[in-house]
Amino acid sequence: MRCDELEPLIEAIADGTIEPSPEDGAHVSSCPTCSARLAEARRIEQWLAAREVPQPAPAFTAAVMARIGDEKWQTERVVDIGFNVFIAAGVLVFIAFGAGLAWSLGFLTVTLDSEELLRAVFSEVEGRVISQLQTTAIAAVVLTMALALWWWAEEAAD
């Protein structure tokens, strides 16, 4: 065995983590460099064992837990913002659907002619409502995606 093979094991042998193999023991007893390294490592281990272990500051645990909570809050905040954007988009789509439907039915004209209104309602409702169904379907898909994203984020956070 060579010194460079034994060097990574010296600290573990000194602190008792591993027992040296007979081959390692023979090398340490015959090699002055490895013997000196092992003696120095044992001396350091004894010094560390005799030394008093420092206690953390009283507020250390609370500060660490507060920081972890802040980091978790930041992550949840990003998810909440994304969810709110999707909900706002869904609401805007529904408002646009209502405005488009009202416009196509003639409710948003400057003058309100009842005869024109009745004719528009009874003669063109079918075609115009069907064209607005696409907008409603898209709004429903966006809202469903937003709710699914929210559900996924809540599950991922737990």
Structural domain boundaries, residue 140? 60-157
Give residue for tokens 């008792």.
16
State mean pLDDT over 53-72. 82
In a domain, 98, yes or no: yes
- Measured on CA atoms in the order 127, 130, 131, 132, is the torsion positive or negative? positive
pLDDT tops 90 at residue 43: yes
Q: What is the largest CA-CA distance in the chain?
A: 115
| Half-sphere exposure for 13 (CA within 13 Å, toward CB) | 19
Q: Evaluate if pTM is beyond 0.85.
A: no
pLDDT at 40: 92
In a domain, 149, yes or no: yes
In a domain, 31, yes or no: yes
